[in-house]
Every structure is written in structure tokens, then in C-alpha cells.
Structure 1
Amino acid sequence: MSGAQALATIDWRRPWLTPLAALGQCAARRVQAGASVADALNALVDEGRAPTPGVRFASQQALSLETAYEQFIHAQQLVPTRDNLHDFFNGLIWLHYPATKRRLNQWQAQAIAADGVGAVRGPLRDAITVLDENGALLLAPPALHQALAARQWRRLCVDLRPLWQQARLLVLGHALLEKLVSPRKSITAHVYQAQEAIETVANVDDWLAADLSAQRLAAKPFNPLPVLGVPGWCPENENFCFYDDSQVFRSARVA
């Protein structure tokens, strides 16, 4: 399936795509009209539809074989971009969360410069990759954070269901977004929990870039969340038996 054909399968009405839909639909239309993904993303910035992310998007051919991907982005301020869903969503995340993406890229490049690419990424680079590919950010009242950390699924999504009106789950991982084009119950995000009320975070990107630290990330401060369990994200979860599937909604491991 070509990039343009794949983009045509996206349902922008899905709740996880709502924050990205305005720019995403515009870029998708350009690709479907014949533009490359890189050109479509650059056009959003050039026309003032999106703020300047501090990088440009380029063809994958711009990446030299002897240079690591993250090092190349840091040195050249260019993001190699293929014409597929994976890189399309990566570009959209760059446009919506540029400060966070730049911070993650900086740490990746510094780690590669210090230790080389290697067969094993190391704890920091591994955690950055998890967040970048499969992460989500939860801004919510403390009770929801506590239930998620304890993997108390019934409490999180049934007993405390009204509290989700005061919460936001923002998908950051571009591989996660790609998987959610064809949603299934088992798709699980690695959630970074923001101990802040929604109303105190005026700019999520700036807040997250400031809140993240290399030390905190290296400890992998993530909790798993099957995203279709989020209230309002899937009609089937209105039936509370949805959360009885222990193959998806797993209990916390016993130490």
C-alpha cells in the first residue's frame, strides 16, 4: 500500500487523533494530491499553519549511511522522512511537540556521541525510544494516576469514570499512532504521568520538555495502559465487562 493509500485509511474522528486532526488532514490531502510526506509537512510550516519546529523534513535519501539517524537530525536540523504512515505521524508529532522532540533528540545525540551506536542502546536511549515510539502523556487528577500505577483497571476506568472528564491522554508515540489506524483492544501505550492538573498546563509541549530529565527517563517512569480502555475512546468499553479480559488488562507484577 502506498503512502497516499495508507493515509486514506485514517479516521481523523478518533479521539486519539483529535489534537492532531487539523494539521494531519491538511498534510494528508497534500500527500494524496502527489506531494511527498516531507514536502507536505514543510508546507504546513512555510504557510504559517504550524509553528516552526526547529527542523525541516527531508527525503530519507538525505541520511548518509555512516551517520546515525538521531545524530543526523541533531547536526543537520533535518528529519529524514519516508513516504509511509510511520514517518507521517513522526512529522505530525514534531509539529505539535517540537520542544519535547528536540530535547529527546539532543539526549539521543549526546549518548551516541559518548558511547557510539552499539548493539545495546543503554537505559536512557532505550527509554527515549519507548516514549518516542509508543508513549503517551496523562494529565489527570491524582486518583487516576494512583489507580493506573497500581493497574487497578476497574477502579481506573469504571469506579473513577467521571474523573476522566478532568483528564487528557495525549498520544506522543508515532508508532503507537500508526498501530491505532487499525485499532484493536490489545494496543498498549507506555504512559508518562503528569502530576499536574490540566488547567495548570497552558502549553503541554513546553511543560513536558521542562519536566522531563535524563535521569528520570533512564528509570523508565512509564505505566502500561491499553488505550481502548480509556473512557470515551471505544464504544465497547461502556460495557464494564470489557475490562475483565486479563490478557489485556493485566494485574501488577508481584515483587
Structure 2
Amino acid sequence: MTLAVIDWAQPWLAPYRTPGEAAAQAARHASVAAALQGVKPAASPDFVRQGALAAGQASEAFGAFEAYESHIFHTRTVPTRDNLHDFFNGLVWLAFPQAKRHLNELQASEIARSGVGAVRGPLRDAITLFDENGALLNAPPALWRALVARDWHALFVTQRGLWREARLLLFGHALLEKLVTPRKPITAHVLLPYDLNAPPAFDDAAVAKNFDADRLRTKPFVPLPVLGVPGWCAENTAASFYADAGVFRPLQKNALPA
């Protein structure tokens, strides 16, 4: 495993760059868990090697995912493997400890309430989707309306100038991992704000308040191909970039946010 492949100059990594570069440097001579532990602020949980997650917890009755979430909930430590996926997960924990903790508490509460079944159920499925692939967007209402309508031409071409007033924050660690090798189809699940005229703030406490269990069950997400964001891909300066209907898909009739 090497973290040297990460291009810290990419705009989507700006919120994570300072601790990320320091941890990546430390990980050249230590485990990812130790590297993250060395740069973490007091509010973040401790990072431990994956071996701290007892193998006996992952059984047919209590799967590996449930054991992982339960371990974090009960010990307030995050089992961490030496790979890019867990490295980016750690960086999100460093930046948003309250938000990540709240998602973990919702997972643990749902596991305690419903047990472990063949499927996770709508709430746990939505939490996992956002934790892995989610994003938050602070943007003028006109951009939000275009995104919800999947009006890609309006979103990225005719109203392109409005992106100077917008900010997209990638929260999902699997999403960050995928973008180590940027590809046009990579798509985030953007959390709809409660009010399109009042976009979300990006401080940790404010992000955590977005995660309401009843609301999450409805999967209030809209897809956004992230390399369409102005400044995130050199090729997207041409309007033809957005004509690829295999990536910038039109809104299906009667489609719900997903």
C-alpha cells in the first residue's frame, strides 16, 4: 500500500490536505492507524490497527460490518487497515468527528433495535451510502434547482458563473478513494438541504445536524458527477463535456432523489 499516489493539489482534497499530507508522510514508516493517531486533534477518536477488532465478533450472526460499527460505538476507537480506503475514512473522522460519530450512533441504534438481517434496512442503507459516497453542497438556490432537475446544461453551462459562490464538500471516504484515479463517471450522492434557499454550513456540528434518522430513511440524495464541477477537471471547460448522457443522465419521469 502506498499513499504516494494521492495528488494533494486536487481541489476536492483541500479540506483534508494539511492533516492528510502529514499523515501520509508518517505512514511511510508506520501503520496508517499510527500515522492518523499522530496528527489527530483531541476531539477525534483514537485509531487502532484492524487487529483490535476481535475476529470472533465477525460471525454469521454478527457480520464484519456490524462488528466494526459496534466496536467504534463501544470503544470510541476506529479499527484501521493499511489501505487507501481506511486512510481516507480516517481523514474524514479527523475533519468531522461529531458528524461521523452521529452516523455511527445511528447505525448502532438501528442494529440494537432491529438486529442483523439479510439486508440492512432503509436507514442503515442510507447511512452507509452517504458515509461511503456522500457529499454536501453549499450553493445558490438556482444551482440547487438545476441539480434537482438534472438540468446539467443550466447547472454547469448557462449558470456556470454561480459556481464561484458554491462549495462542494466530499464526505464519503470511498468517493475520495475512487478519485485518486479521476474518471468522468464518478458520482457523489449529495444530501438535499432542508431548504434549497438555506444551504448547509460545513462546520462539524452543522454537518452532524443534517443526519436525522427519519429523513435519512427517505434517501434524500441527488446524484452529481463530481468532475463536472468547474475547476475540478480541465476538460469540463467545453460545453460538450456535459453532453455525455451516460454520465450526465436526464431526470427520469417520476424519479425520486437517490
CA-based RMSD of the aligned residues comes to 1.4
- Whether the aligned pair in 1 keeps the contact of 2:103 and 2:211 (CA below 8 Å) is no
Per the alignment, residue 157 of structure 2 pairs with 158
Per the alignment, residue 66 of structure 1 pairs with 57
CA distance in 2, matches of 1:197, 1:163: 16
Between the two proteins, the alignment pairs up a number of residues equal to 243
Per the alignment, residue 225 of structure 2 pairs with 226
Alignment partner of 1:29 out of 22, 25, 31: 25
Q: Which amino acid aligns with 1:36?
A: S
Q: Which amino acid aligns with 1:225?
A: L
- Whether the aligned pair in 2 keeps the contact of 1:139 and 1:193 (CA below 8 Å) is no
SS of residue in 2 equivalent to 1:10: coil
CA distance in 1, matches of 2:233, 2:227: 5
Per the alignment, residue 14 of structure 1 pairs with 10
- Whether the aligned pair in 2 keeps the contact of 1:99 and 1:206 (CA below 8 Å) is yes
Kindly report structure 1 stretches of 4+ aligned residues shifted beyond 6 Å.
none
Q: Which amino acid aligns with 1:11?
A: D
TM superposition shift of 1:193:
3.1
Per the alignment, residue 64 of structure 2 pairs with none
Alignment of 1:12-161 (within 5 A): 12-32=8-28, 34-45=29-40, 50-53=41-44, 55-64=45-54, 65-66=56-57, 68-161=67-160
TM superposition shift of 1:168:
0.5
Identical-residue share of aligned pairs (%): 56
TM superposition shift of 1:232:
0.8
1:68-122 per-position Cα deviation (integer Å, ceiling 9, x unaligned): 1111100011111000000000000000011110100000001111112222000
CA distance in 1, matches of 2:207, 2:111: 23
TM superposition shift of 1:51:
4.4
CA distance in 2, matches of 1:26, 1:208: 25
CA distance in 2, matches of 1:205, 1:79: 18
TM superposition shift of 1:42:
0.8
- Normalising by structure 1, report the TM-score: 0.92
CA distance in 2, matches of 1:188, 1:119: 27
CA distance in 1, matches of 2:77, 2:228: 37
- Whether the aligned pair in 1 keeps the contact of 2:6 and 2:180 (CA below 8 Å) is yes
CA distance in 2, matches of 1:148, 1:131: 18
CA distance in 2, matches of 1:10, 1:159: 33
Q: Which amino acid aligns with 2:46?
A: R
- Normalising by structure 2, report the TM-score: 0.91
CA distance in 2, matches of 1:21, 1:196: 30
CA distance in 1, matches of 2:78, 2:212: 23
- Whether the aligned pair in 1 keeps the contact of 2:163 and 2:230 (CA below 8 Å) is yes
Q: Which amino acid aligns with 1:154?
A: H
- Whether the aligned pair in 2 keeps the contact of 1:107 and 1:214 (CA below 8 Å) is yes
SS of residue in 2 equivalent to 1:186: coil
Check 1:62–1:128 CA distance in 2 against 1; reply closer, same or farther (3 A cut).
same
TM superposition shift of 1:197:
5.5
Q: Which amino acid aligns with 2:237?
A: E
TM superposition shift of 1:196:
6.1
CA distance in 2, matches of 1:196, 1:119: 39
Check 1:178–1:226 CA distance in 2 against 1; reply closer, same or farther (3 A cut).
same
TM superposition shift of 1:37:
0.6
User: Where does structure 2 lack aligned partners over 5 or more consecutive residues?
Assistant: 59-66
CA distance in 2, matches of 1:173, 1:189: 8
